[in-house]
Structure formats: structure tokens, C-alpha cells
Amino acid sequence: MYVTQEMTLDLNGSTITGNGSRFIAVRRGGKLTIKDESGNGTIINNSIPLRVIDGGELIVESGNIVSTGSSAITVGQKTAPGGKVVINGGNIKAQEVCALATYPGAVIEINGGTLESVDNFVVGGNGSEGQGETNIVINGGDLTSNITSAGYVACGIYHPQKGTLGIHGGNIIANNGAGIVVRGGEVTIDGGTITALGDKDLVGKVGDSAIQVPTSAVVVDKKAKYYDADNILVTISNNAEVIGSNSAIAAVVDTDQTVDGQIEVSGGKFSNDVSEYTSSGYNCVEDTTNQI
């Protein structure tokens, strides 16, 4: 089904089942709002239930969106770039990725809802050159990533591309993995909670790189040598909470690489001392208020 005009789909408790890679596509400036007034309404597909391309816009207010074999929502396409997804509510579950942004002009905004990946990352992009210049904003919602593939770890948000990622709220949890893996782009974290769970010595692959990353809340990986690695800038401030089994922040670099000037901390709460990353004029102070 193609949506090329403005319309609202009320699932009204019903289940819509698809079988194919282009089940519902919002394109050419079309705008689709999905809601479910009755509850338990579901769109389910063994591939990608929803694609947004060519300036289309998708707004998810409520309902269930499920992909049993791939990603749930993708934004952008090489031959028809651009598009926007806004998630205000509902439940999204995917075998791999809940929301994927690719190619210039792709936008994902998450304000609420529950998103869960079974065996990959929850939200992110593609690290191939030319698929960047995306914009991802997390203002709220519960994002949970899991992993089942041997040799890999879970990842809450995967950002290997040139583009911007803003985390201003929400709850991001990686079960047996890394909260955020950054291999390119500019990342601003000034709110929300990012938690990486699992054994502190656990490492594994994320994406298509053989480089292994730890169970840290924020991982800056230059060792994978993605095309935008030298332009990475991660800033953490204000009310951000960054918690990792291994560490709050980890830099994965080769012997000839450094992240000097690419990670700047000026505020937030962390699971360990992050003094090596604090900006000039700021100090990392231990919080003992809840200790016995």
C-alpha cells in the first residue's frame, strides 16, 4: 500500500498482516498517522511493515508495529531520500531494528512509546558512506535492545554515520551490550538515562564491523575506521544519566588514534569517574549521598 496524501489509520483493535518488503510505504509528501482507539491493534510483517521515503511523514500515536524478520520502520532510500518518522506512543518490536534512518534528510523523532529489538540495535543508521546526513532525536520513550547472535552484543542506539543524534530524555537499555555506539556524527546527550547491562568483561561486535565493543553506556569507536570517525563529537551535559557495567564512557581506538577533543563532559551522572573526558573548567565529583 502506498500513502501519498494525508490520512489516519485507526487500527481499532484489528490486526493487519503483511508478507513482503513494501507492505506500507509513505512517500511523495504523504502523511500517515497510525493510532489504535480500541487497543491491541497490530501491524505485523515478516519483513519491513513501514517505509517512509521521498518526503513522506509517519506519526505513530498508539498501536503495535511488529517485524518478525527484519526492521519495523525504515526512513530514506537511495533513489527517494528524505522522510520523517515521529513516534509519540505505541509499541514497536523488531527482530533487528525498530527504526532505521538512511540517506540524507532522514529524520527520526521519538517522544514516547516502547521500542524493543530482539537481536540488534533499537534505533540508528547505516555506516556506508553516502547513507548519512540523518537526524535522530530522542525526547522520551523506553528503548530496549537484546541480542541472540553469537559473537555480538546488543546496542541501544547505533550511530555509525555522518549526521546528528540528540538525546534529551527517555530510557535506553542494552541487555548484554553497549548503550550507544558512535562511529560517526555529532552526538548531544543532555537528558535521559542510558544503561549498558551485562558482564563487565563482555565484548562483542555491533553492526558489520569485526571490532568488538564493551558493555559501556557510551562507546566512541574509531578503531572500526568508518568514514566519519575523525569528525565524531560527543557532548554530555545537564541531566544525562550514563551507566555501564564496564564503564560509563569507553573509547575504542587503535594505537595511532586518539579521541582528544571528541568527547566533552560538562554535566550529568555517571557510573564511574569520567575525569579524562571532562571539559575545561569542570570536575568529576563522587556522589556519596546514597551510600551506606
- What are 43-54's pLDDT values in tens digits? 999 999 999 999
Residue at 288 is within a domain: no
d(CA 58, CA 8): 10
Residue 292: the pLDDT is: 37
Residue 288: the pLDDT is: 63
* Structural domain for 243, as ranges: 2-277
Supply the pTM of this predicted model: 0.96
Residue at 289 is within a domain: no
Residue at 22 is within a domain: yes
d(CA 283, CA 278): 7
Q: What is the pLDDT of residues 244-261, one digit of tens each?
A: 999 999 999 999 999 999
Q: Tell me if 154 sits within 8 A of 175, measured CB to CB.
A: yes
**Residue partners of 201: CB distance under 8 A and separation at least 6:** 246
Q: Tell me if 151 sits within 8 A of 211, measured CB to CB.
A: no
Residue 269: the pLDDT is: 97
Low-confidence ranges of the chain (pLDDT < 70): 21-22, 288-292
Residue 290: the pLDDT is: 47
Residue 21: the pLDDT is: 66
Residue at 292 is within a domain: no
Task: Please state, for a pLDDT cut of 70, what percent of the chain lies above it.
Answer: 98
Residue 291: the pLDDT is: 41
* Count of domains for the chain: 1
Residue at 283 is within a domain: no
Place of cell 533499537: 122
